[in-house]
Amino acid sequence: MTEQEQGAAQQPESEKPRIGVYICRCGGNISDVVDTEALAKQVQSLGDVATCKVETFMCSDPGQATIVEDIQKQGLNRVVVASCSPFLHELTFRTAVQRGGLNPYLYEHVNIREQDSWVHKHDPAGATAKALRMISAAVGKLHHVEQLERIRLGNHRQALVVGGGIAGLKAAVELAGKGIPVILVEQSPQLGGRVASLARTFPGEIEGPEFVHKLADQVTGHPLIRVFRRARVESVSGFVGNFDVRIAVESQPGASEPPDGHGQAAPAEAQEFHASVGTIIMATGSDPYTPARGEYGFAEQPAVVTLPDFLRQLADTPDGEFRWNGRPVRNVGFLHCVGSRQVDGVNPPQPDGKINDYCSRYCCTAILQQALTLKQRFPAVNVFDFYQDIRTYGRGREDYYTKSSAAGVVFLRFHGDEPPVVEPGENGSALKVRVKDWLTFGEEVEVPLDLLVLGVGMVPHAIPELIDRLKLPVGADRFLQEVHPKLRPVETAVNGVLLAGTAQAPMDIEETFSAAGAAAVKAAILLSRDVVELDPFVAEVDAEKCNGCERCLEECAYTGALLKETVEIDGETVVKARVNPGLCFGCGACVAICPTRAIDLKGWTLDQFDAMVDGLIEAVPVAG
């Protein structure tokens, strides 16, 4: 425990509150609407507010230093910051409070940007009055605040990586390199995922099989990595630091495969393995979008293929005359955004009723790379590129566009609400594509083609069972969702479960490696100690008030978070509820259902809510 933490722990809870309130102008995001100076004068009159200050940027180093200095010099023992969303800077200010010598949970965050100035920009007086009420509620809550301590749980210092594509391999190698034992589970017989089938990868132009082979050798050759192929995670229970995992390995008739890097041969019969791990990295990857029958002629016209199919066949095509299905090819078209950037009302919805309105990021560069390769290998072939926008993400990717253009690729730009129309060909061509080309100011063009390649986007690999078992959050795009794209980019809302690669979003190889490395670093931090520390905002049961009705157990959505235990009281055996802090998410559902008010939520108690309501009602509006 640090000296600051010791000082915070020694602070008496009975001490009269001396509350410091700090109002952020947010560079005008707040102060252009809320009259922060008038607000500060009103806040100063609230009960037990010892000081109230306004700063242009509270999150800046000088802003934080103000809080630290006031705590130490003015004897503040409670702090409120009224600024932007707590998702951005609540941790920033908790840390500042702790640096000042206070328990970090003697702090309350008020969001007067997203919840006030941004939504009431046409009513400055109303926004200022609302800000006063919000701060008054926070001050009221701090009158009932407790010095909470972080939850400390035992930690199994071993990681599970689900998925043996390049994201999973990279994460496993990085973790093992830091001395962390790793279990890697891959459902297919081979490691490396879809990258293993690529003839060339961009931007390094390395052969996919060679790339994967080197990475897989690092994994299978490492003594700290145990690999299970043809395997799946059958069940998961527990919580961060204490996940219990059951792995099912499929039977493999005939001779067993050679031993993997851990010296373990693949079983001839189905087997199950049990393991305890501290963290789980989801590297379950993505799949290429499969067009619906008839979508741009797919599955109805033999000359319409997806980009992955084209890559495989092109790699096996000898130099000379380019032929497809035995027919010579003179005109090839590449069509962008198939299964990506779909437009509601134009593109048919997917089976779940949603459209894929996201950009798949890799497709533009992949198409341009193949268009350029085709022109270089078969200069006589005419190549046409149908696109909405060219989005070549990443350093050096734009070169593919300029080189393709210089090589003679013809570009035609369409609008998403007017996609190209693919029809049977005429005069010997297999197909024709009609498109309104906005590079020629909306002229309608017909292009005869012998082959049309659909640049299909990415969709998340289906893992409904794992999503259900781990209660994983899923975004509107169906990919696994991180807590925050900038501040916590590889963490999920489930403590201890991390994301790597295209399980989270469409990415190219370099982005996938970066994400996998970040997940490995985060996992290594979690597993670096014998204990895991969590925020204390979980439910707690007052055993004296609990009557054992079990209504809270029925209401709880998180398996194992609330438990039933039998205890002896005055010689009588009774049933009481008990909280497992590792599994409790602090949702408060049990608090609302308890008829005896025996359950409370640390940091958000019923008394604190009562005080907040009083503060909202009693605050005096700022005079105009």
pLDDT grade, residue 14 (50/70/90)?
low
- Cα–Cα dist 189/181, whole Å: 22
Give yes or no: residues 383 and 478 share one domain.
Answer: no
pLDDT of 110 above 90? yes
Say how many C-beta atoms besides its own lie within 10 A of residue 112's C-beta. 28
Give yes or no: residues 431 and 340 share one domain.
Answer: yes
**CB distance 390 to 364 below 8 Å:** yes
The pLDDT of residue 621 is 59
The pLDDT of residue 252 is 65
Does residue 455 form part of some domain? no
* Domain residue limits at 507: 159-285+461-531
**CB distance 398 to 407 below 8 Å:** no
pLDDT of 436 above 50? yes
Q: Could you tell me which of 59, 8, 284 has the C-alpha nearest to residue 166? A: 284
Give yes or no: residues 208 and 245 share one domain.
Answer: yes
Q: What is the CATH number of the domain that holds 195?
A: 3.50.50.60
Give yes or no: residues 166 and 140 share one domain.
Answer: no
pLDDT of 255 above 50? no
Of 505 and 203, the one with more pLDDT = 505
Does residue 426 form part of some domain? yes
Does residue 618 form part of some domain? no
Domain count, the chain: 4
pLDDT of 339 above 50? yes
Does residue 83 form part of some domain? yes
Find the mean pLDDT for residues 576-604: 93
Residues whose CB falls within 8 Å of the CB of residue 222, separated by 6 or more in sequence, listed in order: 172, 173, 176, 261
- Cα–Cα dist 580/597, whole Å: 19
Structure tokens at 329: 């090819």
Give yes or no: residues 299 and 445 share one domain.
Answer: yes
Give yes or no: residues 300 and 445 share one domain.
Answer: yes
Strands 410-413 and 382-387: parallel
Residue that finishes a domain, picked among 491, 509, 531: 531
Q: Mean pLDDT, the chain, as a whole number?
A: 91
The pLDDT of residue 510 is 92
Of 156-170, 305-319, 493-507, which gets the smallest average pLDDT? 305-319
Does residue 55 form part of some domain? yes
- Tens of pLDDT, residues 475-495: 999 999 999 888 899 999 999
Q: Could you tell me which of 92, 27, 85 has the C-alpha nearest to residue 64? A: 92
Residue that finishes a domain, picked among 99, 130, 150: 150
Does residue 109 form part of some domain? yes
Does residue 623 form part of some domain? no
Q: Can you list the alpha helix ranges (DSSP code H) found in 378-463?
A: 398-407
Give yes or no: residues 58 and 104 share one domain.
Answer: yes
Percentage with pLDDT > 90 across the chain: 78
User: In sequence order, what E strands does 147-239 have?
Assistant: 151-154, 159-162, 182-185, 225-228, 231-239
Find the mean pLDDT for residues 230-257: 84
User: In sequence order, what E strands does 11-165 have?
Assistant: 19-24, 49-55, 78-83, 107-111, 151-154, 159-162
Residues whose CB falls within 8 Å of the CB of residue 260, separated by 6 or more in sequence, listed in order: 220, 226, 227, 229, 266
Give yes or no: residues 256 and 310 share one domain.
Answer: no
Find the mean pLDDT for residues 527-542: 93
Calculate ∠ Cα 283-285-291, nearest 5°. Answer: 170
pLDDT of 8 above 50? no
Q: What is the CATH number of the domain that holds 48?
A: 3.40.50
Find the mean pLDDT for residues 72-77: 96
Give yes or no: residues 306 and 339 share one domain.
Answer: yes
pLDDT grade, residue 3 (50/70/90)?
very low
| DSSP secondary structure code for residue 540 in this structure | E
- Tens of pLDDT, residues 262-320: 445 556 677 999 999 999 999 999 999 999 999 999 999 999 999 999 998 888 888 88
- Tens of pLDDT, residues 114-130: 999 999 999 999 999 99
Give yes or no: residues 256 and 126 share one domain.
Answer: no
Q: What is the CATH number of the domain that holds 556?
A: 3.30.70.20
Percentage with pLDDT > 70 across the chain: 94
Residues whose CB falls within 8 Å of the CB of residue 588, separated by 6 or more in sequence, listed in order: 539, 601, 604
Give yes or no: residues 34 and 174 share one domain.
Answer: no
Residue that finishes a domain, picked among 150, 167, 201: 150
The pLDDT of residue 428 is 83
Give yes or no: residues 484 and 564 share one domain.
Answer: no
Using CA of residue 500, residue 503, residue 505, residue 507, what is the dihedral sign?
A: positive
**CB distance 446 to 434 below 8 Å:** yes
**CB distance 404 to 372 below 8 Å:** yes
| DSSP secondary structure code for residue 196 in this structure | G
Does residue 616 form part of some domain? no
User: Which residue type, as a one-letter code, is found at position 570?
Assistant: D
